[in-house]
Structure 1
Amino acid sequence: MLWKWKAVDQNSNIRKGYWAEEDQSRVVSGLREQHLYPVEITRALFTSVWIRYKTGNRKLFWGRTARKLGTMLEAGIPLLTVLDVIAERETTGLDKNQWKQVSRSLQAGVELHVSLQGIIPSPGHLFATMVKAGERSGTLPTALIDIAGYLEDAYFFEKKFKNALFYPVLLLVASLFIIYTLSLMILPMYENLFRGFETELPLATKIMFNVGCCIPYLTAVIPVLAVTVWLLNKKGHSFIIPGTGKINRTRQLIQFCSVLGRLLDAGLSLQESLLLVKNLFKDHLMQELTTQLIFAVNEGRRMFSVIMTSKLFPPEVAKMLEVAEESGKLSEMLAYMTRMFKKELEERIEQYTKLLEPALVFLMAGLVGFVAIGVLLPIFDISSQIH
């Protein structure tokens, strides 16, 4: 949700801007972290829709933004100058003001990961975590380029997965449309026709007519189901497309290994890195696993002892982590595991789409065949009685 705010800074100057946050209280706390004292906060619904449409995909937007920031910082350009350059390249006054507000916050002593939270669309917790790690360890340019690579990879994965599902989903929508049209227009006409002959209908025909009467009512359930799934996902309950459980789990393993390795490379301790990684996941199984890892590390035990008993990771991963922890090359091993899981993910997506397309084709063929049998059987019975 987007909020329009007006606040007073330490010099009694009026500042205005926009802030993306779920709750108004978080906007207030975020402004106070930037040494701004809110005077007025209101919702900005239409501005939010326009900004999201203009910026497109959030991951791609922040991936490209992080790469710009990291590249210019690596070239030795001061951070405030980098922000001025980005602000000047923006085409709208709203975007220019957002980046100028970030620059003013930095000049007031606010850290970059806090200042960026006021940018629309919001960079998210992962971005803020990586930037915070880079600031604390003095490796901000490297951290920005790392997070740029991660976000761009995540965007292209989502795009590839959506493209792979486009044709199967199109077939599914076509099937639902055909079913709805048959139940609403075609089947009632045949039902009235057959019942006019006052003959006993075959079992397949009775089933077809009874199911056809219920389908128009069942279609009203689909929007309710979609809203329910959206609310459950928003509250952290994992819901996935049937058959994509392993794909979703492999994707989570990629995120775990990639982010943890990048945080360790940024100079954070293992305990700090695990605490930050825990907040990235909504899935309760991944949160539980990360909590167990945090307890184990705090007690002086190795990560592999927890991974060994977990069903989320393949068995060989525990052995790989054991070797990496003993040799002190945990971040390198996590990077290798990330590449390994990415290859596995690509294979799973390809296999899933290869199985899904013919399955939907057979489903449509079975549907058409069942309707044809249900319609033709009583026609044959009636014609035999006439003869």
Structure 2
Amino acid sequence: MNTTRSESESRQRRWQWQGVDENGQVVQGETLAASRDEVVEKLTQQRILIRRARAKRGLSTGKVKHRDITVLARQMATLLRAGVPVLQGLQAIAEGVTNPALRWLINDLRRAVSEGASVAEAMARHPRHFAGLFVHLVAAGEQSGTLDRMLERVALHKEKSERLRSRVRKALWYPAMVMLTGISVAALLLVKVVPRFESMFSDFGAELPALTRLALELSDMVRDHWPWGLLLGTSLPALIYMAQHRSPRFATRLHGLALRLPLFGGMLGAACVARYCRTLSTTVGAGVPLLEGLKSAAGATGNPAFQQAVEQVRHDVLEGHSLYRAMHATHRFPGMALQMVAIGEESGTLDQMLERIAEHYESDVDDRVDILTALLEPAVIAMLGIMVGGLVIAMYLPIFELGGAL
């Protein structure tokens, strides 16, 4: 059922239609549907006789982003707290949405709830947008009569998780993009600029400096083998991406290696601990069983190596071990986090301790990102200067020597 709905959702297209309403007035608009028959069915339910409908080509149907789901959760929490019923609240939210894909999703939730499903059951039909943690918390909120507070908790959790993810991405993508730009500029100089100097140097009749000869040889190599280099540069990341999706063992080893990288490894590890503790704190505080919370926390770490460790923690807890002992046996969690978990288990304040751990390591990630940025900016600029400046000096060095000889 879920797979069928996801496939149907991925085939949605925007349809521009024109028809006549029950008062005989000509009306027109756009709707999101998988086929023309679905458009006709939807408009018939609104008592509109369709005359013309065509799919809009080349235009995006929109995409439901993580931020959209966070806003949806917060809006639903606000409306429920104000006493607005679920169905009426979903309708009000859908009317104010401009993204067709998100509007379709909200209307599908509303349709499922109107047919007798709970809000959690309606969300579970869309696993691409509502993860297990979201569904568990909503189900717990419906059972306890605190759906508004649970939705608020979900929104807060997603906001902090997304902020942490964006900080980590910034630390990883910035130096990578700057280096890629520098390599592209250097390759352009080697392919387009250096050959022109080579033809000019051939008329000198004197031996060229070693740096210039090196630049000319490098230029010849790049011009002769650039298709292979381009193929390797584009195919290698694609192969790694495919390999880690098809082989869990390869993905675990690759991400485990990333955790041991200098500078970046500590930041990635702190981010994994923060996401794990944040998710587990949210589930435990909402009354979700610990085993279910660990299942959600494993997927929230964002690192297969850490996910494997959390799954081992879940297995050990299932066998009767305490959370502290299970976490300690994986050798993935820092000592401070383990001690605070032990205190939380003994005092019955595990959710509060986990939240404090998450806040500490989120702050640690922020500090590490700032330090990395401060260190990498001058290092990357210096490296670019050496790459580009070295080529420029290599090309003008024979001219300077010739001018000195004259």
* Mapped contact 1:297–1:303 kept (Cα < 8 A): yes
The yes-or-no answer on 1:255 pairing with 2:275 is yes
Query: Cα deviation per residue 1:108-160 (whole Å; 9 max; x = unaligned)?
Result: 33332342356698344443343344345543222211111122223344555
Query: Cα deviation per residue 1:244-267 (whole Å; 9 max; x = unaligned)?
Result: 333222222111101111111111
Q: Work out the CA distance in 2 between the residues paired with 1:157 and 1:279.
A: 15
The yes-or-no answer on 1:294 pairing with 2:294 is no
Post-superposition offset of 1:168? 4.9
Q: What does residue 78 of structure 1 align with?
A: 85
* Mapped contact 2:164–2:271 kept (Cα < 8 A): no
The yes-or-no answer on 1:227 pairing with 2:267 is no
The yes-or-no answer on 1:3 pairing with 2:23 is no
Alignment RMSD: 3.5
Query: Cα deviation per residue 1:2-28 (whole Å; 9 max; x = unaligned)?
Result: 5348xxxxxxxxxx956xxxxxxxxxx
Q: Work out the CA distance in 1 between the residues paired with 2:33 and 2:127.
A: 10
* Mapped contact 1:271–1:298 kept (Cα < 8 A): yes
* Mapped contact 2:267–2:369 kept (Cα < 8 A): yes
Q: What does residue 41 of structure 2 align with?
A: none
Which of 107, 123, 130 aligns to 1:100? It is 107
The letter of the residue matching 2:309 is L
Tell me the matched-pair count. Answer: 347
Q: What does residue 97 of structure 2 align with?
A: 90
Q: Work out the CA distance in 1 between the residues paired with 2:313 and 2:289.
A: 13
* Mapped contact 1:131–1:143 kept (Cα < 8 A): yes
- In structure 2, do the counterparts of structure 1 residues 60 and 172 end up closer, same or farther at CA, with 3 Å as the change threshold? same
- In structure 2, do the counterparts of structure 1 residues 148 and 170 end up closer, same or farther at CA, with 3 Å as the change threshold? same
Q: Work out the CA distance in 2 between the residues paired with 1:45 and 1:259.
A: 41
Q: Work out the CA distance in 1 between the residues paired with 2:297 and 2:204.
A: 70
The letter of the residue matching 1:306 is A
Q: Work out the CA distance in 2 between the residues paired with 1:211 and 1:359.
A: 24
Q: What does residue 218 of structure 2 align with?
A: 211
Query: Cα deviation per residue 1:40-81 (whole Å; 9 max; x = unaligned)?
Result: xxxx997994312xx6xx222111110011122233322122
Which of 142, 157, 164 aligns to 1:150? It is 157
Q: Work out the CA distance in 1 between the residues paired with 2:184 and 2:141.
A: 52
- In structure 2, do the counterparts of structure 1 residues 279 and 155 end up closer, same or farther at CA, with 3 Å as the change threshold? closer
Query: Cα deviation per residue 1:303-332 (whole Å; 9 max; x = unaligned)?
Result: 212332444321222111111111111101
State the SS of the aligned residue for 1:51. Answer: coil
Q: Work out the CA distance in 1 between the residues paired with 2:131 and 2:119.
A: 13
Q: Work out the CA distance in 2 between the residues paired with 1:312 and 1:120.
A: 29
Q: What does residue 177 of structure 1 align with?
A: 184
Query: Cα deviation per residue 1:72-122 (whole Å; 9 max; x = unaligned)?
Result: 223332212211222232347765554332222113333323423566983
- Name whichever of 93-102 and 318-327 sits farther off: 93-102
State the SS of the aligned residue for 2:395. Answer: helix
Q: What does residue 244 of structure 1 align with?
A: 264
Query: Cα deviation per residue 1:315-352 (whole Å; 9 max; x = unaligned)?
Result: 22211111111111110100111110111011011001
The yes-or-no answer on 1:312 pairing with 2:368 is no
The letter of the residue matching 1:224 is S
- Name whichever of 254-263 and 91-100 sits farther off: 91-100
* Mapped contact 1:106–1:115 kept (Cα < 8 A): yes
Uncovered stretches (5+) of structure 1, i.e. residues with no partner: 6-15, 19-43
Query: Percent of pairs identical after alignment?
Result: 23
The letter of the residue matching 2:86 is L
Which of 347, 351, 364 aligns to 1:331? It is 351
Q: What does residue 27 of structure 1 align with?
A: none
Q: Work out the CA distance in 1 between the residues paired with 2:171 and 2:341.
A: 33
* Mapped contact 2:140–2:286 kept (Cα < 8 A): yes
* Mapped contact 1:66–1:144 kept (Cα < 8 A): yes
Q: What does residue 278 of structure 1 align with?
A: 298
Q: Work out the CA distance in 1 between the residues paired with 2:345 and 2:120.
A: 30
* Mapped contact 2:208–2:398 kept (Cα < 8 A): yes
Which of 40, 62, 65 aligns to 2:69? It is 62
State the SS of the aligned residue for 2:332. Answer: coil
- In structure 2, do the counterparts of structure 1 residues 277 and 104 end up closer, same or farther at CA, with 3 Å as the change threshold? same
- Name whichever of 146-155 and 319-328 sits farther off: 146-155
Q: Work out the CA distance in 2 between the residues paired with 1:210 and 1:361.
A: 25
Which of 133, 138, 142 aligns to 1:131? It is 138
Which of 344, 362, 374 aligns to 2:382? It is 362
Q: Work out the CA distance in 2 between the residues paired with 1:380 and 1:316.
A: 61
Q: Work out the CA distance in 2 between the residues paired with 1:66 and 1:232.
A: 35
- In structure 2, do the counterparts of structure 1 residues 45 and 254 end up closer, same or farther at CA, with 3 Å as the change threshold? farther
Q: What does residue 38 of structure 1 align with?
A: none
- In structure 2, do the counterparts of structure 1 residues 258 and 196 end up closer, same or farther at CA, with 3 Å as the change threshold? same
Query: Cα deviation per residue 1:226-249 (whole Å; 9 max; x = unaligned)?
Result: 434544565563667985333222
- Name whichever of 86-95 and 100-109 sits farther off: 86-95
